[in-house]
Amino acid sequence: MRRCVVASGVLVEDGRVLLIRHPRLGVWIYPGGHVEPNETPREAAEREFKEETGLMVEVVGPRHGIGGDGVTEEPLPLTILLETVRYPDEVHIHYDLVFLVRMVGGQLREGRWFAADELEGLETYENVKEVLRLALRATGQGVLRP
């Protein structure tokens, strides 16, 4: 079975999250995709977000202050998920680094903002809702019912 490293970004603003309708899965999900050769997961999350929404974002997250001697510490992901993805024509494994992101520019072309109280009935997977709850708590912008 094919195994892929992917990176995703969750953008939270004013208690709302930006989601896209996944073209192959037909559900609402946060933007993300495969990490390309010679690309870091952070770079992939930022690139995929721009490709899928039109917005330029930057990954944010805690750091421990490790650095020096040619080492730069990257922001930590919000979570890391090992997912079995069942597309209509194939099944493969995603090792998904899910990052919080903040908007730094661009123009929204695709996607829709969802308020916290809209997420419970959202057409998506339960693990996506759990990640969105986590993102809302982490940003202090609302808490969804468990």
Name residues whose C-beta falls within 8 Å of residue 108's C-beta, 6 or more positions apart in sequence: 18, 53, 54, 55
pLDDT of 1 over the 70 cut = yes
The three-class DSSP label of residue 97 is strand
How many Cβ atoms sit within 10 Å of the Cβ of residue 13? 12
pLDDT score, position 86: 85
pLDDT score, position 27: 95
Q: What integer is the mean pLDDT of 51-58?
A: 98
The residue extents of the domains of the chain are 3-139
pLDDT score, position 88: 81
pLDDT of 142 over the 70 cut = no
The span from the CA of 55 to the CA of 129, in Å, is 22
Dump pLDDT digits (tens) for 85-140. 888 888 999 999 999 999 999 999 999 999 999 999 999 999 999 999 999 999 98
pLDDT score, position 47: 98
Question: 3-139 has which fold?
Answer: Nucleoside Triphosphate Pyrophosphohydrolase (3.90.79)
- What pTM value is reported for the model? 0.91
Dump pLDDT digits (tens) for 65-87. 998 899 999 999 999 999 998 88
Confidence of residue 35 (pLDDT cuts 50, 70, 90): very high
H helices of 18-100, in order, are 41-53
Contact 9, 32 (CB under 8 A): yes
The span from the CA of 78 to the CA of 99, in Å, is 5
